[in-house]
């Protein structure tokens, strides 16, 4: 799997049975609930599994549920809804388009 990531073949990684099975396991373990929304006090269905330690930067953790930092264990794969996942990746958020004409009232 690391080889797919190292050769920048992320599509093959994200469509592999290894990832799809692990993704489903993570979603089931968290009852398909977005963990960020849950922290905010409401329910939204999780549709994505977010890598805290980004796949491209840390390919060895791509299929790891947890990671250890400074002797403490953290979750690496977190179920999120679409909006929360987009929020985690600022570069993916849609920019508001400027109006063609600026109206003033």
Residue closest to 32 by CA, chosen among 43, 42, 40: 43
Beta-carbon contacts of residue 16 (< 8 Å; ≥ 6 apart): 1, 4
> For 62-77, how does the pLDDT look when each residue is reduced to its tens digit (9 = 90+)?
999 999 999 999 999 9
**Nearest-angstrom CA–CA distance, 85 and 32:** 14
Element (H, E) at 14: helix 10-14
> What are the tens digits of pLDDT across the range 22-65?
999 999 999 999 999 999 999 999 999 999 999 999 999 999 99
Instruction: Tell me if 46 sits within 8 A of 32, measured CB to CB.
Output: yes
């Amino acid at each position: 799997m690391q080889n797919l990531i190292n050769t920048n073949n992320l599509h093959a990684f994200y469509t592999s049975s290894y990832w799809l099975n692990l993704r489903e396991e993570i979603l089931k373990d968290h009852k398909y609930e977005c963990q960020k929304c849950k922290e905010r006090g409401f329910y939204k269905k999780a549709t994505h599994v977010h890598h805290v330690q980004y796949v491209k930067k840390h390919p060895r953790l791509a299929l790891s549920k947890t990671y250890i930092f400074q002797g403490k264990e953290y979750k690496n794969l977190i179920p999120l809804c679409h909006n929360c996942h987009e929020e985690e990746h600022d570069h993916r958020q849609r920019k508001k388009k400027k109006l063609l004409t600026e109206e003033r009232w």
